[in-house]
Structure 1
Amino acid sequence: MSIAGRIALVTGGSRGIGAETARLLAAEGATVFVNYREKRRRADRVVGEIAHAGGTAVAVRADLTDPAEVAAMIEQIRDRAGRLDLVVLNASGGLERDRAAGYALRLNRDAQVSLVEAALPLLPPSGRIVFVTSHEAHFHESRLGYDVYEPVAASKRAGEDALRERIPALAAREISLVVVSGDMIEGTITPTLLERANPGAIEARRAEAGALPTIAEFASEVVAAASAAVPSGYTVYVGGADYLAGVTGVSSAAGGADRQR
């Protein structure tokens, strides 16, 4: 599946992995809707960078935990493009201090599922959903992680499970789901917040795992997953070879990623 000419939505697209994913998709010829919650200026900057490079992008605001705002965003995409070929579920949270109890689960599970359901009428056969997660979440049940990250890890794993439960229904519409799971990513907000709660966490992980994936490296794997000829439910692992010990069906891939059916 070629990226060129496709219509894509990237949630949490105003910074970090989401922003770089949006840039890379646009560079390959996709029209990209860059979702943001609050930081309009930041989203506009990403859109401007894409336009300057010759691509096409539109900033679309929605708090993904608010069904009315999600519906309005989907309607805006319908009016502008008529369809959606690709949904990259990148937005996540739960470490914020100003959020109420249960917010991580509402965002990382409930909102992911609700957004997929809202987007389904715009997704044609051959449409794809890419769920972005972390090894801490993906391997949540089999490996202990950071206590401060526990609500995020548990809720993102719950989100992944809820989406996987929908694979048969998606397959009936010829829509596929691919999961991209990464080790701690250099330069993202999550390691920064973990470092505040656990000083030395980043350096300790580097010592344990070796070089950590960068935002550019991880985003390139997300974009590759958006068009790869793989079955629904396929998982792409980026970095963190120690997590993969004992995982069956894993083979080495370019760019430091590991892929598993």
Structure 2
Amino acid sequence: MSQPLPAGSLSEKTALVTGSSRGIGADTARYLAQAGANVVINFRNKAPRAEKLATELRDLGVDVLTVGADLTDPASVAEMFRAVEERFAGLDVLVLNASGGMEGGMAEDYALKLNRDAQLNVLATALPLLSDGARVVFVTSHQAHFIETTPTMPEYEPVARSKRAGEVALREQIPALAEKGVEFVVVSGDMIEGTITATLLERANPGAISERRESAGRLYNVSEFAAEVALAAVEPVPADNTRLIGDVSSFGA
């Protein structure tokens, strides 16, 4: 995929992308760095993979910090932002990309803790570092964004409802963010080919992804959707603070 952002358009800016050692988060960090941004790569437990990406991005001439943090642990999140402040002083872009809930062996309330409570806490902890004119981007799925009006696969419903709860809670922060000069935008996409979630859904419900692809006409892949997330960090915020990516006709939109 070609670089979606003009070279140099984010020079002297700093961006933090949660869950960015792989997948959509990694490609988003890559696009932001290619546009000149210094980047904070956040990961939970894959330090070597994060460091490999960091090495690649440093070759672009930008400063890159890798920080491991469990987003469901407020102390871990506080430590991450202390490291960011020491290195960069402030933040211009915060991409809330990390999410989950389909992993095995997690507590029953894990999806809600990660997709709602942790998102709110990350934003609250980041707020003192966000500059006037900063942008917060929350990444979600159509299956979550439209869950109140359009049913989704039973295997995904708990995750969808928790992500929707996170989106609603974050939207309630928009007036307070606006007072500080911080903009907020939601980026919602369909199932993304090649993501962990799509793989787990296909395993739980064989044929689910091909069925969804047929219904939608096409599904975005990881790099294509990451390009849309990166664009959301710089393009004007829509009036409803929402960027819907791809076809939404089957979601009653």
> Fold match, TM over 0.5?
yes
Correspondence for 1:142 among 149, 152, 176:
149
Q: Look up the SS of the partner of 2:155 in the other structure.
A: helix
1:182 aligns with 2:192: no
Correspondence for 1:71 among 53, 78, 81:
78
What's the CA shift for 1:231? 5.1
CA distance in 2, matches of 1:172, 1:95: 36
Moved more, 3-12 or 24-33: 3-12
- Contact 1:184 / 1:212 at 8 angstroms: preserved in 2? yes
- Contact 2:216 / 2:250 at 8 angstroms: preserved in 1? no
- Contact 1:64 / 1:70 at 8 angstroms: preserved in 2? yes
1:171 aligns with 2:178: yes
CA distance in 2, matches of 1:4, 1:211: 34
CA distance in 1, matches of 2:127, 2:250: 33
TM-score normalised according to structure 1 size: 0.91
Q: Look up the SS of the partner of 1:147 in the other structure.
A: coil
1:121 aligns with 2:128: yes
CA distance in 1, matches of 2:168, 2:10: 27
CA distance in 1, matches of 2:108, 2:33: 37
Correspondence for 1:3 among 7, 10, 17:
10
Q: Could you list the per-position Cα deviations for residues 132-187 of structure 1 after superposition, in whole angstroms to 9, with x for gaps in the alignment?
A: 00000000101010111111100000000000011111111111110000001111
Unpaired runs of 5+ in structure 2? none
Q: Could you list the per-position Cα deviations for residues 114-140 of structure 1 after superposition, in whole angstroms to 9, with x for gaps in the alignment?
A: 010000110111011000000000001
Q: Look up the SS of the partner of 1:91 in the other structure.
A: coil
What's the CA shift for 1:233? 4.8
The amino acid across from 2:184 in the alignment is L
Partner of 1:251: none
Partner of 1:43: 50
- Report the count of equivalent residues: 246
- Contact 1:176 / 1:232 at 8 angstroms: preserved in 2? no
RMSD: 1.4
Unpaired runs of 5+ in structure 1? 248-261
The amino acid across from 1:36 in the alignment is F
CA 1:133 to 1:214, structure 2 compared with 1: closer, same or farther past 3 Å?
A: same
1:99 aligns with 2:100: no
Stretches of 4+ aligned residues off by more than 4 angstroms: none
- Contact 1:133 / 1:182 at 8 angstroms: preserved in 2? yes
1:203 aligns with 2:210: yes
Partner of 2:89: 82
What's the CA shift for 1:243? 3.7
Q: Look up the SS of the partner of 1:4 in the other structure.
A: coil
- Contact 1:177 / 1:233 at 8 angstroms: preserved in 2? no
What's the CA shift for 1:208? 1.0
CA 1:60 to 1:232, structure 2 compared with 1: closer, same or farther past 3 Å?
A: farther
CA distance in 2, matches of 1:212, 1:4: 32
